Structure 1
Amino acid sequence: MRLKPILTALLAAAALALPAAAQDCVGQNLFERMTPERRAELDAAAEGVPYRHGLFWRAEKGDRRVTLLGTYHFADPRHDLTMRHFGPEIDAAALLLVEAGPEEEARLAEAMTSDPSLLVDPEGPTLPERLTEAEWKSLAAALEARGLPAVIASRLRPWYVAVMLGVSPCMMRVIEEKGDPGGLDHLLVGRAEAAGVPVRALEPWDTVFTLFEGMTPKEEEDMIRAAMPAAQYADDYAVTLADTYFAGDSWKIWEFGRFDGYDHSGLTRAEIDGQMRLAQEKLMDQRNESWIEPIEQAAAEAAGQGKAVVVGFGALHLPGEHGVLRLLENRGWTISPITVEGKGDGG
């Protein structure tokens, strides 16, 4: 298996947990295909989510100051505006916090090389045995398009299969050609390294391998089923995600995934809702909770130097009752939006 795209997919799984796009991939924004009635239903589902609108925020508590940047993990020329605005803040910061820094990415790559069982189940039932014949046929074709032969794919762990389905074939090719996903996270790290600003990870390097522990076989199989519809038009889904991110409304794509599952997965609404709750808990809520202490500790250390901290992580970690912003607010931090002209600003 090709290491670089797989590594990138894993890092994406530990981030937005949604399909990835690249500036070289072309597709249609799927919101344009929705009926007005469906759009209204989706908007109603997203309405009222705390801190739903906005990518960039300031958190302050006494003399502690934190700049929070919701990131998009893949290349796009629209990142240039973000870097022009926040580059000087990174230069002056005491520390940059990200989900996974260079050291964590290196350890992840080393582990994947030395221990194939992290991604492949050598003993349990194969995916063709766990899925229906039609499901396996569609899945095998989707994974073949992403460079994973069926003979290998048949023994992949279900959570990893669901991750790979979220990366469009076009994106896989771009990563291979360019050698780097080029997302905002990497741009932030590059700027910090150039300025001599320390970079620290918010979580351990092996987090991605622990996210899906404890799932039942049925939950694992439904995770694949829920991911299959978007895999059939991954480039369109990816463009939709990117456009929605840069409009500053990432939660909208989360709800899009729910309604897409309702319409195309073959699962019941209750089953899709269960999958969405499980994904939110494992990919976002639990991790958000674990990030608060490192953020607060870094801010306190920085305040002692008369400096601030910059934190970058996937934009879907910002909103919601269990989002990072609400969690900080509940601990006495004052949250305010940062407006960047031409970008989806906070609000």
Structure 2
Amino acid sequence: MRRLLPLAFAFALLCGPTVAACDGENLVEALPQAQRAELEAAVAAQPFPEGNFWRATRGGQVLHLIGTYHLDDPRHAATLAAVASRIEAATVLLVEAGPEEEAALQAAMAENPALLISEGATLPELLSEPEWRTLAEAMRARGIPPFVAAKFQPWYVSMMLGIPACAMQGIGAQNGLDRQLMRAADDAGVPVRALEPFDTVFTLFEHLTEEEQLSMLRSSLPLEARGADYAVTLADAYFAGESRQVWELMRITSHELPGYTAESADAEFARMEEAVIFERNRDWLPVIEAALAEGPVVVAFGALHLPGRDGILSLLEREGFTLEALPL
């Protein structure tokens, strides 16, 4: 994986920034007509490319799926109104991380040595001087002193770069759709359970070499100047029910970056999609099936997990579920 470009913005999509905090240009709307047509064709070629709210049924089993946007936005109110009755009727709400997992992750982030470079050169030594200056300024904009960021693992810094500085306030609010759905479940007396262990995020990158991590970080740095544009594009796509559009946008535009060909960029996107999205989806399916044995289920997770060859919707269809898109 030479550059692993999509990683930061894949996570940005799963943890999409708020429009109110970021003032930028919608990159899809700014595309030349030929690239816009290419993008639309690429999106249309994917299974289940649109929609954030779905019902899956098989026999007497009923599952409602909600693709989420993890930060606060006033438009979540409409979603909550649409899904409230489904949560009240469910036996359980499944989310990526429930309250216990969130607490465990916060503790691990504070104490886990896997986030730090334990020996050898730190980031100012591993990067060129211009690269380090750009990174140091990016970390300051996110409230992280450069001397602290210098000791972080490159993959962890790349994740932080995936959330534009203009959206950091939204992270602190901890009032994204997932959190609002969990509160609705608590109010209705519906238990909340996690789809995966709290430390899954650490295992996603454990196979990467230092050089692969540094390549991932270096690829994120040139995009820092357009962070607000990506934030607006991500948010617009999500609330239009078109989250897959942003993944395809990043893939297509990466064809023109230095050091890439269309073939190499597409191959890297496919590898990252497998590692970060599809593998987790397959791990979640038995958890969902087990919950359905107890009665109706509502499951909520980042919207990018819904579409695609091994998106959750495709996996459920192959398991015999009938799928229906529902309006929000």
Establish whether TM, by shorter chain, passes 0.5.
yes
SS in 2 for 1:84: helix
Q: Distance in 1 between matches of 2:34 and 2:219?
A: 23
**Structure 1 position 162 matched with structure 2 position 158:** yes
| Partner of residue 230, structure 1 | 223
- Superposed counterparts of 1:1-347, under 5 Å: 16-17=13-14, 20-115=17-112, 117-176=113-172, 180-264=173-257, 266-269=258-261, 270-302=263-295, 308-340=296-328
Long gaps (5+) in structure 1? 1-11, 303-307, 341-347
SS in 1 for 2:24: coil
Q: Give yes or no for contact 1:29–1:240 (8 Å, CA) kept in 2.
A: yes
Q: Distance in 1 between matches of 2:83 and 2:305?
A: 19
Q: Distance in 2 between matches of 1:168 and 1:62?
A: 44
Moved more, 253-262 or 316-325: 253-262
Q: Give yes or no for contact 1:168–1:238 (8 Å, CA) kept in 2.
A: yes
Q: Distance in 1 between matches of 2:12 and 2:30?
A: 27
Q: Give yes or no for contact 1:26–1:236 (8 Å, CA) kept in 2.
A: yes
TM value normalised by structure 1: 0.86
The higher-RCO structure (CA 8 Å, 6+ apart) is 2
Q: Distance in 1 between matches of 2:218 and 2:107?
A: 30
Q: Distance in 2 between matches of 1:328 and 1:219?
A: 33
Q: Distance in 1 between matches of 2:264 and 2:211?
A: 11
TM value normalised by structure 2: 0.90
Q: Give yes or no for contact 1:55–1:71 (8 Å, CA) kept in 2.
A: yes
Q: Give yes or no for contact 2:25–2:232 (8 Å, CA) kept in 1.
A: yes
Q: Distance in 2 between matches of 1:320 and 1:144?
A: 36
CA displacement 1:102-137 (0-9 Å, x = unmatched)? 11000111122233x232112133223333333222
Q: Distance in 1 between matches of 2:318 and 2:170?
A: 41
CA displacement 1:172-199 (0-9 Å, x = unmatched)? 13444xxx23211111101001111000
Q: Distance in 1 between matches of 2:248 and 2:211?
A: 23
Aligned residues: 319
Mark the CA change 1:18 to 1:84 in structure 2 (over 3 Å): closer, same or farther. Answer: closer
Q: Give yes or no for contact 2:15–2:71 (8 Å, CA) kept in 1.
A: no
Q: Give yes or no for contact 1:226–1:272 (8 Å, CA) kept in 2.
A: no
Q: CA deviation at 1:18?
A: 6.2
Computed over aligned residues only, the root mean square deviation of the Cα atoms, in angstroms, reads 2.0
Q: Distance in 1 between matches of 2:39 and 2:11?
A: 25
CA displacement 1:150-180 (0-9 Å, x = unmatched)? 222222111111111111212113444xxx2
SS in 2 for 1:59: strand
Q: Percent identity?
A: 47
Amino acid of the structure 1 residue aligned with 2:175: G
Amino acid of the structure 2 residue aligned with 1:334: T
CA displacement 1:74-98 (0-9 Å, x = unmatched)? 1111111110011111112110000
Long gaps (5+) in structure 2? 1-8
Q: Distance in 2 between matches of 1:175 and 1:210?
A: 23
Q: Distance in 1 between matches of 2:25 and 2:174?
A: 21
Q: Distance in 2 between matches of 1:258 and 1:249?
A: 15
Q: Distance in 2 between matches of 1:284 and 1:310?
A: 20
Q: CA deviation at 1:283?
A: 1.4
SS in 2 for 1:32: coil
Amino acid of the structure 2 residue aligned with 1:44: A
Q: Distance in 2 between matches of 1:16 and 1:294?
A: 23
